[in-house]
Chain A
Amino acid sequence: MAQVTTTQQGAQYRRSTIWEWITTVDHKKIGILYLFTSLFFFLIGGILAMLIRTQLIVPDNTFLGPATYNEVFTMHGTIMIFLAVMPLNAAFFNFLVPLQIGARDVAFPRLNAFSYWAFLFGGLLILSSFLFGAAPNAGWFGYANLTTLTYSPGLNVDFWIFGLQILGIASVASALNFFVTIINMRAPGMRMMRMPVFTWMTLVTSVLLMLAIPSLTIGLVELTFDRYFGTLFFEPSAGASVVLWQHLFWIFGHPEVYIMVLPPFGMISEILPTFSRKPLFGYPFVVYSGIAIGFLSFGVWAHHMFAVGLGPVANSVFATTTMLIAIPTGVKIFNWLGTLWGGSIVIKTPLLFAAGFIGMFTIGGISGVMHASVPVDYWQTDSYFVVAHFHYVLFGGSLMAILGGIYYWYPKMFGRMLNDKLGQIHFWTVLIAFNMTFFPMHFLGIDGMPRRIYTYPDGMGWNFWNKEESIGAYILGLSMLLFAYNFIKSLRSGEIAPADPWDARTLEWSIPSPPPAYNFAVVPTVTSRDEFWEMKYGSNEQSTAQKTNLNPTAEDERHIHLPPPSYYPLVAAGGLLAMGAGMVMHGDGMAVSWYIFGAGILVLTFGLFGWSFEPNH
């Protein structure tokens, strides 16, 4: 049994200068950049949520006007999806995947840095719209033809288009990178069916991203041509079908749901076995159902469009496929319960969040089955019932798991523990406030309250629950501040974390916290599924390699070559930003816009060439 000696490694990141962070190609640092950036965006999305709930706290409220409210709810959705949940997942891909498969970095470290910078710049481009008083206001789904120049003449939609395009490039680049990394960089013996479930879900998510994002990109390209070059893709007077946009959008949009929720499935599948102190129940079932979900997710998009008028045959087909996708999802939930059952459960914050995830996600899954029944969806779609549903999936589901993941892997990332007592308070307040905020939205759905309305008259029977929900939302906000306090304070003064604080099962816990730049001084040879657990308790002898990895000497480090830092990824991403900004300015009719766009292309090309000719080693 390997009880890990506590070593002072926490200072490692703090010594880094800004330049090191800007030029870093280390997947761990990039993961941490993703984490901080997306938590910052999450904060902004959360503030917008508070504004929404404040506007709706009483009927006929005039706190935000209709124009502002529409911007706020559009940006809340856009930020939470593209700038919070997706990049929070990416933070974990970056930090964990190479550690879990026993690699020293990702396959393309500079492409990885480029993905991060493009993500940051895309996010900043969208957010900058607030400064110009032109935040996107047509919903995160941007249904044509409301988004055409006729009905949205301002820059609002332009910011949205080009922000999303840059974010899409970042996502596809990152997905390709992790696909290659996982397929190609596993340590000896790390067969596919020995991979940790989080890595598996990252792989499925990467495939979904690289196949789903193109559909959105092309939709946005078509919209751009309509707005900038007078094409007719979404112009009803020319005979166009505005429903085309919805198909393109949801062919992306439904896989997107699983892009946001599969990585959290993976996190749960790591946390539960660790804290139950037994292996994941039915590993192959969990993996195969994850693959099945990914596959089926491309065949259910029209269930977002039941009320569009696709006809009874199409609606019936998509109802059936939607019912099908509920099966593997259910299987996963039962397997997680099976993991807890008969375990020796250590009640710590990550476990609480994982259990909370199962409970809350189940509610979202059940209401999802309700919408799958087309006639029921005729009532529930675009009502608050659906708002309740997807917040149970994305907050009660994805975010709960991600918070659990942060509590679980924070020690590995920063070399310090988060305060567990504050963490438990955080969990219980989140659980209660979350249900206060979102459960009554089911009732409002039954009471016929539609989505996306900036106000409602008195006498609709909606006053009480709206007020109660707003109070819940404020408590939820406060609870998140408690988390922010814990997070920031523990960076400096948290308890020093050992390499393996939870007595965990996978390879990332076999190396120091935080890991050295090269991760593994000696690449491990994997012989079983829960490799690290087997090293500690199983028949596997703890190899000398393992001991070396825990306490590497200068001699061990001398032969390791890591890719050198590079600023080209930042330059290339800066070129993308200039291209996007130039296009938006052109929407405003500024003469200089084409020059900025052209300069962007040159900078991008320069960055790409620069990094192609950099030596790799």
Chain B
Amino acid sequence: MARGSVWLKRAVTGACVALLVVILGGCSFFGGGPQSVNHPAGSNMQTIWNLFVPIFWMSVVVFAIVQGVLLYSVIKFRRKPGSPEPHPTHGNTKLEITWTIIPALILAVITVPTIATVTDFAKKPDTGITVQVVGHQWWWEFDYPGQQVVDADEMHVPIGVPVYVELRSNDVIHSFWIPKLAGKQDVVPNQHNHLWFTANEIGTFRGQCAEFCGEQHANMAFTVVVQSQADYDAWLAHNRAPAVNIPSSNDLATKGQQVFFTAGCVGCHTINGMEVNGVKALGQVGPNLTHVGSRTAIAGEVLPLTQENLAKWVHNPQAVKPGTLMPNLGLTQDQANQVAAFLESLK
């Protein structure tokens, strides 16, 4: 018995130390990443975080009490040689009513601000911009109603202005999540969901799909670019314009343009204002490529946008993103390089 209890004490101490290391370690290790929520840059996430922090501290208190009583009881009331039989207590009604009422009060305290915040989130802001977000397997489309701008993989919003996001799905359920700016809202076929937030920091923020939506759910990310109002207006103007003309001096890109308009790419993709030999690119299945060269990443952020990566992608999409709905068109490596040069020049 004595040996056992020494061993037990050691084990308990060891476990406590290990737990402490994990918790303290955790505090120093989390909070740095591009999707960390604990330094919010948007109003919606800030509200959530402000609600979470007091709940967290209440939880710490409850946690400490329960674990404290548990450890104390197991250590203090251990059976020792010659210890008397315990008093057979069957219960204590007053005590039990007390510990029913106290948690009820704590929970009531949490419920009130919860409901207030839910109601607040559901209101549509009076001012601000609207962005329509369409979830596709496995990339995001961003439409700016009234602006004639349709974009993919990258969402631009001005700082300090409420952004009202309308969520639409083209196929299955997705979930729209920009951790640093706002909580999630599911993107459901046949259902008009929405959320709103105000970004209060200039910069880029990563977001990604949060509802399992099939094979490439993991690679359905996007970037939110928060800009000054002036930069945002300039970006809108640039993206509203039709696609640039490919200078004939750019031989590779010109050849790529020919390939693009003959190999079947136009069946799925749109390039505004471009026509080659009477063929227009008006496809609605894949992302709009009018200004693809000005983006930072492709294919749901699976690769950074470079000419080399574009070539890799159009040459064999399945090798880059297994399961992607973009078909392998059987381009030769040369043709792929040409198409990549063409796309890259679509600034």
Q: Is A589 an interface residue (CB 8 A)?
A: no
Decide: A315 near B69, CB < 8 A? Known: A143-B211, A452-B217: no
A340 with B70: CB separation less than 8 A = yes
**Which A residues touch B37, using CB under 8 A?**
379, 446-448
> Is A345's beta carbon under 8 Å from chain B?
yes
B4 x A373 contact (CB < 8 A):
no
Residues of B within 8 A of A459 (CB): 33-34
Number of interface residues of B (CB under 8 A): 101
Q: Is A210 part of the binding interface, using a Cβ–Cβ cutoff of 8 Å?
A: no
A242 touching B189, Cβ below 8 Å: yes
In the complex, identify which listed stretch (A222-230, A279-287, A578-586) lies at the interface while the others stay far away: A279-287
A386 to chain B minimum Cβ distance, whole angstroms, is: 10
- Interchain CB contact (< 8 A) of A67 among B121, B208, B215: B215
Chain B 27-68: CB-based contact to A (< 8 A → 1; otherwise 0): 001111111111000000101100110011001001100110
B340 at the interface (CB under 8 A from A): no
List A contacts of B70 (CB < 8 A).
337, 340, 355, 358-359
Q: Indicate which residue in A283, A327, A343, A440 contacts B104 across the interface (CB closer than 8 Å).
A: A327
Partner of A373, one of B11, B22, B55, B193: B55
- B35 near A447: Cβ-Cβ < 8 Å: yes
Residue B172, interface by CB 8 Å? yes
In Å, the complex CA distance between A449 and B209 comes to 11
CA separation between A92 and B181, bound complex, in Å?
Answer: 48
A378 touches B22 (CB 8 A): no
Establish whether residues A307 and B103, one from each chain, have CB atoms under 8 Å apart when the complex forms.
no
Contact with B along A325-367 (1 / 0, CB 8 A): 0110011011101101111111100010001001100110011
Question: Is there contact, CB below 8 Å, between A145 and B79?
Answer: no
**Are A312 and B86 in touch, CB under 8 angstroms?**
no
- The reply to whether A446 and B30 form a contact with Cβ atoms under 8 Å apart is yes
Q: Does A66 contact B (CB under 8 A)?
A: yes
Q: Which residue of B lies closest to A150 (CB)?
A: B171
B209 CB, nearest partner CB in chain A, Å: 7
Bound CA span A67–B216, Å: 8
Residues of chain B contacted by A330 (CB below 8 angstroms): 99-100, 103
Task: Report the separation of the CA atoms of residues A362 and B59 in the bound assembly, to the nearest whole angstrom.
Answer: 10
- Whether A379 pairs with B175 at a CB distance below 8 angstroms is no
| Interface segment out of the listed A431-439, A491-499, A513-521 | A431-439
* Bound Cα distance A459, B32 (Å): 10
Given A70-B215, A327-B107 in contact, is the A439-B78 Cβ separation under 8 Å? no
CB-CB under 8 A for A440 and B22, given A285-B91, A342-B86, A381-B184: yes
Residue from the list A236, A362, A373 in contact with B67, Cβ < 8 A: A362
Q: With A309-B193, A446-B30, A447-B30 given, is the CB distance from A382 to B47 under 8 Å?
A: no
* A283 adjacent to B66 (CB under 8 Å): no
Question: Is B99 within 8 A of A331, CB to CB?
Answer: yes
Of the listed stretches A18-26, A316-324, A566-574, name the one at the interface; the rest are far from the partner chain: A316-324
Q: With the chains together, A65 CA to B322 CA distance in Å?
A: 8
Q: Is the CB of A309 within 8 A of B188?
A: yes
Select from chain A the residue with minimum beta-carbon distance to B60.
A366
B2 within 8 A of A: no
The interface centre, meaning the residue of A242, A320, A373, A448 with most chain B CB atoms within 10 A of its CB, is A448
Q: Across the two chains, which residue of chain B brings its CB closest to A530?
A: B88
Interface membership of chain A positions 406-432, coded 1 if the CB is closer than 8 angstroms to chain B and 0 otherwise: 000000000000000000100010011
Q: Do the beta carbons of A369 and B107 come within 8 Å of each other?
A: yes
Q: Which of A95-103, A397-405, A460-468, A606-614 contacts B (4 or more CB under 8 A)?
A: A460-468
Q: Which residues from chain A contact B66 at a C-beta distance below 8 Å?
A: 333, 337, 358-359, 362
Q: For B8, B48, B114, which residue has the most chain A Cβ atoms within 10 angstroms?
A: B114
Instruction: Produce 1/0 per residue, B115-134, CB < 8 A to A.
Output: 10111011000000000000
- Distance from A296 Cβ to chain B, minimum over Cβ atoms (Å): 13
Is B186's beta carbon under 8 Å from chain A?
yes
Kindly identify which residue among B95, B185, B206 contacts A307, using a CB–CB cutoff of 8 Å: B185
Q: Are B121 and A345 in contact (CB under 8 A)?
A: no
The answer to whether B162 has its CB under 8 Å from any CB of chain A is no
Contact with B along A454-493 (1 / 0, CB 8 A): 1110011110110000000000000000000000000000
A308 CB, nearest partner CB in chain B, Å: 5
Which residues on A sit within 8 Å (CB–CB) of B90?
279, 281-283
Q: Closest CB-CB distance, A496 to chain B, in whole Å? A: 22
Q: Are B191 and A312 in contact (CB under 8 A)?
A: no
Judge whether B111 is part of the interface by a CB distance below 8 angstroms: yes
B110 at the interface (CB under 8 A from A): yes
Task: Say how far B149's CB is from chain A's closest CB, in angstroms.
Answer: 25
B146 on interface, CB distance cutoff 8 Å: no
A137 vs B216: C-alpha distance when bound (angstroms): 12
A139 in the interface (beta carbon within 8 A): yes
A344 partner, pick from B83, B180, B186, beta carbons under 8 A: B83
By a CB distance below 8 angstroms, the chain B residues around A283 are: 90-91
B47 proximity list for chain A (CB < 8 A): 375
- Asked if A276 is at the interface (CB within 8 A of a chain B CB), the reply is yes
B218 touches A456 (CB 8 A): yes
Chain B residue with the shortest CB-CB distance to A449: B35
Footprint of A on B, CB under 8 Å?
A: 4-5, 8, 11, 14-15, 18-19, 22-23, 26, 29-38, 45, 47-48, 51-52, 55-56, 59, 62-63, 66-67, 69-70, 73-74, 77-79, 83-92, 95-96, 99-100, 103-104, 107-108, 110-111, 113-115, 117-119, 121-122, 137, 171-173, 175, 177, 179-180, 182-186, 188-191, 193, 206, 208-219, 322-323
Q: List 10 A-B contacts (CB under 8 A).
A: A146-B213, A236-B190, A347-B74, A359-B70, A374-B118, A375-B117, A378-B185, A379-B52, A383-B210, A461-B34
Q: Known A-B contacts: A278-B88, A446-B38. Give 10 more (CB < 8 A).
A: A146-B213, A309-B193, A316-B118, A343-B77, A362-B66, A369-B107, A370-B56, A375-B121, A379-B179, A450-B209
Q: State the A residues within 8 Å of B (CB).
A: 65-67, 70, 137-139, 143, 145-146, 151, 236, 239-243, 276-279, 281-285, 307-309, 311-312, 315-316, 319-320, 323-324, 326-327, 330-331, 333-335, 337-338, 340-347, 351, 355, 358-359, 362-363, 366-367, 369-370, 372-379, 381-383, 424, 428, 431-432, 435-436, 439-440, 442-444, 446-456, 459-462, 464-465
The 10 closest A-B pairs by CB, nearest first: A378-B183, A461-B33, A448-B35, A448-B179, A453-B218, A282-B91, A236-B189, A309-B193, A340-B73, A312-B122
